Amino acid sequence: MEVVKAVDEQNQVQEQEQNSGLREKSPVIRMKRPYFIMLLVFLVIFASGITAFALSFGKESQPMVIGGSSERDEFAKLYNAYDTLKKGYYKDIDEDKVINGAINGMIQSLDDPYSTYMDEKDAKEFQHSVSSSFEGIGAEIQEKDGHIMIVSPLKGSPAEKAGLKPKDIVIMVDGKSIQGMTSTQAVMLIRGEKGTKVELTIQRPGVEGTIKVPIIRDEIPIETVHGEMVGDGIAKVQITTFSTNTSKELVETLNNLQEKGMKGLILDLRQNPGGLLEQAVSISSMFVPKGKLLFKVEERNGNIEEYKSKNEGNPEFPLVVLIDNGSASASEILAGAVKESAGVPLVGEKSFGKGTVQTVQDFPDGSNVKFTTAKWLTPNGNWIHKKGIEPDYKVAVPDYYNLPYLDPKLELKKGSSSNDVKTAQQMLSVLGFDPGRKDGFFDEKTENAVKAFQQANKLQTNGAITGSTTEKIIGQLQEKIIKDDPQLKKAIEVIKKEMK
């Protein structure tokens, strides 16, 4: 018998998620227009005002003639400011730039990192990057408090390999400050073709100073589901993002694992930044009994729409779900649904906390506006926005999981003193080579530890940390992180009890 009897094919979304390698966080949950007509509320105000600037955004409202009887009082100040600049500024103004600035200002005044405006040029470039390739660094970002923050690097991506972590704040890109940029502007600056290099300067919570992270852009993995047996009839399936074919991939993976003897499942949503809402509905339905609530959507007028499981039956195996602070949006919908409607235990760390829904309105001139239309609630009515979902079994990861990236091009040797040396000393210590100190000063004991590491790995024994030595240190640290994984170990412990 197949693991999943029914997956609603109508939920297979025709629209490919915006994933060009580095993705803007704001569209991670997107509702179809029949579900959310609330954008009309916005457009009635938006279109009637902006048409005064000779932009035609549709038929949602009647065109306005400045000074005519249809002029709206609430836009008087806006018109006056525009006329004042056009007539009195010391040089000719760029009308398109001023108008786009006014629109962008309206969006920014919402103080909502998930709402943004793209003018014709930015929208065209962004759509081109989406349709032409899946190349970039592979990370979800969002604007927060005027900064660009990493939500989550994608599994196997250059961003993950370079050591980017959730909550990292990007300060500069190739030495250029991005302070005050929108997430869209940051995406356009960071994305690029496979094989090209970009250097991010980041601030990491709990780490002193800034960290420079060089990344070689590459093709981003398209597969979103990865499954394996982890022993004793237990399978682990990681979902990296909720894309167009994720539910189909998951069904195939589960059926394959069942043939290998799967009797219990660990669903890994760590570092999953979200994706398409329809996929979250399909996948949640696989693990929640038919008719039970998956989540609710609350509009600004207080109306609530309930989304229920469409599954015809429950999988015949116990389930445990892994989450962390990189689990966001659609991941949180799934985690909340199985926790509250199916009694599935969650293991790991508190999730990211993204509880809003966005939609995109395209305009005839090629620009668009993406804005929040509603908030979603868990089956029990909890709004997890900015709070996240607490796991049933809280398991922290070791401090060395968050060590900064160490650039192989650097040469660290006896007499050096820097934060990079401090990072290298911490890495050596974790790998079992005692540097004698961890304060950032490269002394004789640290040199001896490096030589011992080089000898153990058949590298040139010169006592300096650079090139292949650095790469080997980083590689072994990554292997240790995967091998140790205290969250996975706890999940295995929990599911074994569920299987009895």
Q: Give the three-class secondary structure for 395.
A: coil
Please name the residues in contact with 273: beta carbons below 8 A apart, sequence gap of 6 or more: 23, 25, 28, 140, 151, 152, 154, 241, 326, 328, 329, 331, 352
**Of 310, 354, 422, 490, catalytic:** 354
| Rg from Cα positions in the chain | 25
Q: Is 208 a catalytic residue?
A: no
- Distance between alpha carbon 138 and the CA centroid of its chain, in Å? 9
Q: Would you state the torsion angle of the CA atoms of residues 206, 209, 215, 220, taken in this order, to the nearest 10 degrees?
A: 30
Give me the catalytic one of 140, 249, 332, 340.
340
Q: Annotated catalytic, 260?
A: no
Contact (CB, 8 A) for 328 and 275: no
Q: What DSSP character marks residue 124?
A: H
CA distance to 72, 275, 383, 407, per residue, from 374 (Å): 27, 16, 11, 43
Q: Which helix (H) or strand (E) holds 434?
A: none
Active site residue 71: no
Closest Cα partner for 311 from 291, 290, 341?
290
Contact residues for 309 (Cβ-Cβ < 8 A; gap 6+)? 284, 285, 288, 289, 290, 291, 292, 293, 294, 337, 341
Map residue 485 onto helix, strand or coil.
coil
The catalytically annotated residue of 329, 351, 367, 416 is 329
Q: Which residues of 85-109 are buried (b: 16+ CB within 10 A; e: fewer)?
A: eeeeeeeeeeeeeebbebbbebbbe
Both tokens assigned to 456: 């153990």
Q: Tell me the angle at which helices 330-342 and 277-287 cross, rounded to the nearest 10 degrees.
A: 20
Neighbour count for residue 355 (Cβ, 10 Å): 26
**Cβ-Cβ contacts under 8 Å for 96 (sequence gap 6 or more):** 119
The set of catalytic residues is 329, 340, 354
